[in-house]
Amino acid sequence: MQLYSYFRSSAAYRVRIALNLKGLTAEIIPVHLLNNGGEQHSVEYQQINPQQLVPTLLEQQAQQPFILSQSLSILEYLEEKFNDIPLLPTELQQRARIRAFCQSIACDLHPLNNLRVLQYLSDILNITAAQKTAWYMHWLELGFTGLEAQLSDSNPHFCFGNRPSFADCCLIPQVYNAKRFNMDLSAYPKIAAIYAHCNTLAAFQQAAPEVQMDAT
Does residue 141 register a pLDDT over 90?
yes
The CATH number corresponding to 92-203 among 1.20.1050.10, 3.40.640.10, 3.20.20.70, 1.20.950.20 equals 1.20.1050.10
What is d(CA 32, CA 39) in angstroms, rounded to the nearest whole number? 5
What integer pLDDT is reported at residue 76 of this predicted model? 96
The CA angle 43-11-100, to the nearest 5 degrees, is 135
Query: Looking at the DSSP assignment, which residues form a beta bridge with residue 59?
Result: 66
Task: Indicate the class that CATH gives domain 2-85.
Answer: alpha beta
What integer pLDDT is reported at residue 15 of this predicted model? 97
Per-residue pLDDT of 180-201, as tens digits, reads 888 999 999 999 999 999 999 9
Task: Count the helix, strand and coil residues of the chain and give each as a percent rounded to the nearest 5.
Answer: 55, 5, 35
Domain segments of the chain: what residues? 2-85, 92-203
Per-residue pLDDT of 11-45, as tens digits, reads 999 999 999 999 999 999 999 888 888 888 888 99
**C-alpha dist (Å) from residue 117 to 20, 96, 215:** 29, 29, 22
Per-residue pLDDT of 91-140, as tens digits, reads 999 999 999 999 999 999 888 888 888 889 989 999 899 998 899 999 99
The CA angle 39-206-187, to the nearest 5 degrees, is 95
Sign of CA pseudo-dihedral 162, 164, 166, 169: positive
What is d(CA 150, CA 100) in angstroms, rounded to the nearest whole number? 9
Higher pLDDT, 19 or 62: 19
Cβ–Cβ < 8 Å for 190, 154: yes
